[in-house]
A and B are shown apart, each in its own frame.
Chain A
Amino acid sequence: RKEVEQDPGPFNVPEGATVAFNCTYSNSASQSFFWYRQDCRKEPKLLMSVYSSGNEDGRFTAQLNRASQYISLLIRDSKLSDSATYLCVVNLDRGSTLGRLYFGRGTQLTVWP
């Protein structure tokens, strides 16, 4: 099983729609979770960290379910500018070091007018 797995999509949704992505991770000891966004032919950029209690940033909501080992990203009121690939990232902590960051393959989102 891969460390981080995502549905590659693509997800094609109209403007204003609500869309959700899930991501599963293999290591129950994982401590840190993130969503990154990558535009076509650009570098990944941090979208948001995912906290244990869940967190919201404007139209974006991230949730963590440790028991089932998955994280989710919900985008409300989709905009054309939300079209991108969303990367799930999990950090396995090892003692005093931060360990390796595992990236999912990404979920592609296209928002159409």
Chain B
Amino acid sequence: DAGVIQSPRHEVTEMGQEVTLRCKPISGHDYLFWYRQTMMRGLELLIYFNNNVPIDDSGMPEDRFSAKMPNASFSTLKIQPSEPRDSAVYFCASRQGESKHSPLHFGNGTRLTVT
């Protein structure tokens, strides 16, 4: 079975450029999460969707960040304009159902470097 698929694996861009990260969740999973991981702050939840609807975006750091989920099989996280402090590994994860013990399945992550 295909897991959560993220692209690109690596992204290097200059400050001020727009960055778009992509995610395809596991088929049938109705929750999708975007996380950011840095050495300083660990894993932080940015936003999550249920049935393509954003439920909690309180973790989105500022207006430069936006996320969409146009359908059940695709989501994007966009940063515009990007800044060096956005450099991190961005993980997408999906989960099936409401069970308290439903595990999160993570993608391989996108390593973003903003110079």
Residues of chain A at the chain B interface (Cβ within 8 Å): 31-32, 34, 36, 42-46, 49, 87, 91, 93, 96-98, 100-106
Contacts and interface: CB of A to CB of B under 8 A. Distances in A.
B42 A106 contact: yes
A97 B55 contact: yes
A43 B42 contact: no
A98 B106 contact: no
Interface string B27-39: 0000101010000
- Chain B: interface residue count, which band? 20 to 34
B43 interface: yes
Contacts, number: 45
Given A97-B55, A98-B98, A100-B56, A44 B103 contact: no
Interface in B25-73: 31, 33, 35, 42-45, 48, 50, 55-56, 59
Q: 9 smallest A-B Cβ distances: which pairs?
A: A43-B106, A46-B103, A103-B43, A105-B42, A32-B100, A49-B101, A44-B106, A43-B109, A100-B45
Contact of A31 (B43, B100, B108): B100
A101 B104 contact: yes
Nearest to B40: A105
Given A44-B43, A44-B104, A103-B43, 12 more contacts: A36-B104, A43-B107, A45-B106, A46-B103, A46-B104, A49-B101, A93-B100, A97-B50, A100-B59, A101-B45, A103-B42, A104-B42
A81 to B, nearest CB: 19
A43 B90 CA distance: 10
A87 B108 CA distance: 17
30 contacts: A32-B101, A34-B103, A36-B104, A42-B108, A43-B91, A43-B106, A43-B107, A43-B108, A43-B109, A44-B91, A44-B104, A44-B106, A46-B103, A46-B104, A49-B101, A49-B103, A87-B43, A96-B98, A97-B50, A98-B31, A98-B100, A100-B48, A101-B45, A101-B104, A102-B45, A103-B35, A103-B42, A103-B43, A105-B42, A106-B42
